[in-house]
Structure 1
Amino acid sequence: MIEFKLPSLGADMDEAQINEWLVKPGDTVARGQVVAEVETTKSAVEVECWEEGTVRELLVPVGATVPVGTVLATLANPDEPSAEVRPREPEVAAAAPVARPEPEPSATVSIERPPQVTTVHSVRQPPPSSAAPDPTHRQWISPAARRRARDLDVDLRTIEGTGPAGSIVIDDVVRAASRPVEQPANVHVDRNAAMRNTIAAAMIRSKRDIPHYYLSDTISLGPMSAWLEARNASRPLSERVLPAVLLLKATAVAARKYPEMNGFWTDGEFEARSGIHLGVAIAIRGGGLIAPAIHDVADKPVDRVMSDLADLVKRARAGTLRSSELSDPTLTVTSLGDQGVETVFGVIYPPQVALVGFGSILERPWIENGQVRAMPTVVASLAADHRVSDGRRGALFLAEIRELLQNPDQL
């Protein structure tokens, strides 16, 4: 039997609510298949399963909020007899808060601590026996209605369902989208407050536990700008590559040469990662940041990184990220250039060990071959973990990024 658990989607997440199951008992699951959608304080996330098998039992009902590490479902091994599969699904969770173990003083312990089995079973309730909606239960929402609400940017909390047992169906969502809906003021306030608290907890942990050091370098982007201009000249607008893509690509290629910048600090030691999955800081609707990964950036052509970045930003702001994109980043890049900031010094996102920042691309006086000329430049910064690297290696890493940006053909 295989246990499918709620994965950790980053240091700023210790629990999530089950929004929707996309499989049922008896279904065959392939590696990488999206099997559920969960809601964190930042976003709705599609959770993938990385095991093969047949779903035996869904243990956590829709609407339940459970800690990271909770067993959400069990799967039968591919060679396990089909008779072992028990076609039983959990009922919808009660609206009352779910009992959870009290967090430990250390944020690290509370995230990684295995959940109690009683957490899941305490939320099970029998389904209502009549067609009338039961006020003690979370409202039923059809999966199709939930997807349509996301597409139309409709808040499901403002809709009264007209389907069976008061459930929300597609027609309810379409009607709600066609009329102005007044959003209660406290809804956004409460969600934003929860998000800020979540981010603050992760950043407090980072500054408390990680001995940061900081470096910066002003880089001339004249060669990169000329290369991009020539490359984009004959392309339609939709196929042009943005300067930010070359900044990402250069960071990833440099990290391949300096592997101590790419990996995790866990259990008192550094674990280097072979895959370079860059977390990209993205501002999300309603405030706050999220940093999902573009996978294997160093190995992808520039055009592919551009399309992946555009897709990632779109889905991050629409709330349709996948769990692997939140759990896999090995090194984060943040840029506040579009906000007019010249230099940004970031806080490392644990358990990562480095963060690269880029400010605005600005024209500055630049001396080249004994002459002063206006040159596009960018300030690149590095925040790194002194337990893993020192200032000399950090300086060489930034110098490698500079070398690559000044010789873009190497990218």
Structure 2
Amino acid sequence: MSDYRMPALGADMESGTLVEWLVKPGDRIKSGDIIAVVETQKGAIEVEIFQDGVVSTILVPEGERVPVGTVLAHIETPGAPPQEVSPALPAAPPAPAVKAVTEPRPAKALAPARSKITPAARRRATTLALDLTKVKGTGVDGSICLVDVEAAIGPFRAAAPAVKRGLDLAGMRKAIAAAMSRSKREIPHYYLSETVDLHAVTAWIERFNAEKPPIERILPAVLFLKSAALALRDWPQLNGVYENGAFVPATGVHVGWAVALRGGGLIAPAIRDADKKSVAELMAAMRDLVERARRGSLRSSELTSPTITVTSVGDRGAETVTGVIYPPQVAIVGFGRIVTRPWVADGRVESRPLVTISLAADHRVTDGHIGGLYLAAIARLLQEPEKL
């Protein structure tokens, strides 16, 4: 038997509210299944499990806020003999906790993998007399979650009390401040920057987008992300985490893409294996991530797996951006606003679009030599955008 605990969904999380169980005692689960929804300052996060087994006991009822590390449930793992629950565990009384998630329900609502509708979503939709056939699911395999029902309420909002969900911007700002203070206190940062000519990038994007519908067009930011990801193949010392006094290199390039939230706040969920995706696939992934981040509907793996962060301030941002490393990562790459400036090309002074790329990195792991070579690699890749 193993304990399933409240996960730490980032260095700035101290506690979370268990708002929805997607399983019940007796359900068989496998690695990658989403079994609960946890609400933090970053919104409603779909929490995955990374082991196979059977749900034995649920200890924390829906609606309860608990610290990171609290045991939420017990999981019977294959080949492990049944064990008695230790009385020393800080578990809630069995009857109320189990009742909160095992009340009689229609058979199809017990497992979202079978019904494609989570129990809480079905209850909310029933309360509102909402036609679920018209609701688009954003959960695993297209399953309809509570956030999908909330998004589809529309005219019902005024008549029915809304469930308190979404982003706690004030709490997020406090959490960001705590994480960044920790970063500056514990991580010896060094900073580098490089100005890059984007003439080839802008010309290639214009050709690429010429005959594409708006939904398939790309932005310079996607080439920034792809070049930063590909360059890490040559300089993996910047891709990983620093834990327990040592650098742990990542096995994949999982880029945390910084998303500015409406009303304030910042979040950087991961685009996994960003170096292996085509430019079109990356653009689609970025759009999806931004939309779900601003809606407050992300998965736990997207918040816990970034191995480096990339931020692009866009055309309304500053010319340069100097990042603060998000622990336990060891680097953050920033792309400033594209500006038009005089530039010497082939011995002539020409007007060219330029961008300043910055790097903040952890001096415990690398130094300016490695960092400079990494920025140079990004610059070279951006000179041949057709190869990205």
TM-score band w.r.t. shorter chain: 0.7 to 0.9
How much does 1:149 deviate?
6.8
Amino acid across the alignment from 1:177: R
Q: Structure 1's 174 and 253: CA in aligned 2 closer, same or farther, altered over 3 A? A: closer
SS at match of 1:57: strand
| 2:225 pairs with 1:248 | yes
Which residue of 334, 353, 365 corresponds with 2:330?
353
Contact 2:335 2:358 in 1 (8 A): yes
SS at match of 1:303: helix
Q: Structure 1's 316 and 85: CA in aligned 2 closer, same or farther, altered over 3 A? A: farther
Q: Structure 1's 389 and 322: CA in aligned 2 closer, same or farther, altered over 3 A? A: same
Give, in whole Å, the separation in 1 of the partners of 2:94 and 2:336. 48
Amino acid across the alignment from 2:385: P
Aligned to 2:270: 293
Give, in whole Å, the separation in 2 of the partners of 1:302 and 1:192. 32
Aligned to 1:401: 378
Amino acid across the alignment from 1:17: T
Pairwise mapping of residues 142-157 of structure 1 onto structure 2 (< 5 A)? 142-144=120-122, 145=124, 150-151=147-148
Moved more, 231-240 or 301-310: 231-240
Amino acid across the alignment from 1:10: G
Amino acid across the alignment from 1:117: L
Aligned to 2:301: 324
How much does 1:376 deviate?
1.1
Contact 1:223 1:408 in 2 (8 A): yes
Give, in whole Å, the separation in 2 of the partners of 1:43 and 1:205. 22
How much does 1:337 deviate?
2.2
How much does 1:260 deviate?
1.1
Give, in whole Å, the separation in 2 of the partners of 1:50 and 1:10. 17
Give, in whole Å, the separation in 2 of the partners of 1:268 and 1:307. 37
Give, in whole Å, the separation in 1 of the partners of 2:305 and 2:299. 10
Pairwise mapping of residues 202-281 of structure 1 onto structure 2 (< 5 A)? 202-281=179-258
Report the count of equivalent residues.
Answer: 347
Q: Structure 1's 231 and 20: CA in aligned 2 closer, same or farther, altered over 3 A? A: same
Q: Structure 1's 239 and 192: CA in aligned 2 closer, same or farther, altered over 3 A? A: closer
Aligned to 2:139: none
Pairwise mapping of residues 45-64 of structure 1 onto structure 2 (< 5 A)? 45-64=45-64
Moved more, 221-230 or 316-325: 221-230
SS at match of 1:56: strand
How much does 1:409 deviate?
3.0
SS at match of 1:241: coil
How much does 1:194 deviate?
1.8
TM (norm. structure 1) is 0.77
Deviation per residue, 1:112-154 (Å, 9 max, x gap): xxxx832x427985879xxxxxxxxxxxx94332878734767
Q: Structure 1's 224 and 153: CA in aligned 2 closer, same or farther, altered over 3 A? A: same
Give, in whole Å, the separation in 1 of the partners of 2:94 and 2:194. 54
Pairwise mapping of residues 368-383 of structure 1 onto structure 2 (< 5 A)? 368-383=345-360
Give, in whole Å, the separation in 2 of the partners of 1:117 and 1:363. 62
| 2:362 pairs with 1:385 | yes
> Could you tell me the percent identity over the aligned residues?
49
Give, in whole Å, the separation in 2 of the partners of 1:203 and 1:117. 33
How much does 1:315 deviate?
0.9
| 2:339 pairs with 1:362 | yes
The Cα RMSD (Å) is: 2.9
Amino acid across the alignment from 2:325: I
Give, in whole Å, the separation in 2 of the partners of 1:153 and 1:60. 24
How much does 1:309 deviate?
0.8
Amino acid across the alignment from 1:201: A
Aligned to 2:76: 76
Give, in whole Å, the separation in 1 of the partners of 2:363 and 2:145. 48
Give, in whole Å, the separation in 1 of the partners of 2:160 and 2:38. 28
Give, in whole Å, the separation in 2 of the partners of 1:332 and 1:320. 20
Deviation per residue, 1:232-280 (Å, 9 max, x gap): 2222221122111110000011111111110101011111112010001
SS at match of 1:274: coil
Give, in whole Å, the separation in 2 of the partners of 1:357 and 1:49. 32
How much does 1:410 deviate?
3.1
SS at match of 2:283: helix
Contact 2:147 2:297 in 1 (8 A): no
SS at match of 2:323: coil
Aligned to 2:2: 2
Amino acid across the alignment from 1:5: R
List runs of 5+ in structure 2 lacking aligned partners: 101-118, 126-143
Q: Structure 1's 299 and 175: CA in aligned 2 closer, same or farther, altered over 3 A? A: closer
Give, in whole Å, the separation in 2 of the partners of 1:25 and 1:152. 25
Q: Structure 1's 123 and 242: CA in aligned 2 closer, same or farther, altered over 3 A? A: farther
Amino acid across the alignment from 1:327: T
Contact 1:293 1:328 in 2 (8 A): yes
SS at match of 1:117: coil
List runs of 5+ in structure 1 lacking aligned partners: 87-115, 129-140, 155-169
How much does 1:345 deviate?
0.3
How much does 1:317 deviate?
1.1
Give, in whole Å, the separation in 1 of the partners of 2:343 and 2:264. 37
Pairwise mapping of residues 129-148 of structure 1 onto structure 2 (< 5 A)? 142-144=120-122, 145=124
Contact 1:56 1:85 in 2 (8 A): no
Give, in whole Å, the separation in 2 of the partners of 1:341 and 1:239. 27
Give, in whole Å, the separation in 1 of the partners of 2:235 and 2:168. 39
| 2:33 pairs with 1:33 | yes
Q: Structure 1's 122 and 215: CA in aligned 2 closer, same or farther, altered over 3 A? A: farther
SS at match of 2:325: coil
Give, in whole Å, the separation in 1 of the partners of 2:170 and 2:335. 28
Give, in whole Å, the separation in 2 of the partners of 1:376 and 1:7. 44
Contact 2:25 2:56 in 1 (8 A): yes
SS at match of 1:25: coil
How much does 1:60 deviate?
1.1
Contact 1:20 1:38 in 2 (8 A): yes
TM (norm. structure 2) is 0.82
Give, in whole Å, the separation in 2 of the partners of 1:80 and 1:318. 40
Aligned to 1:109: none
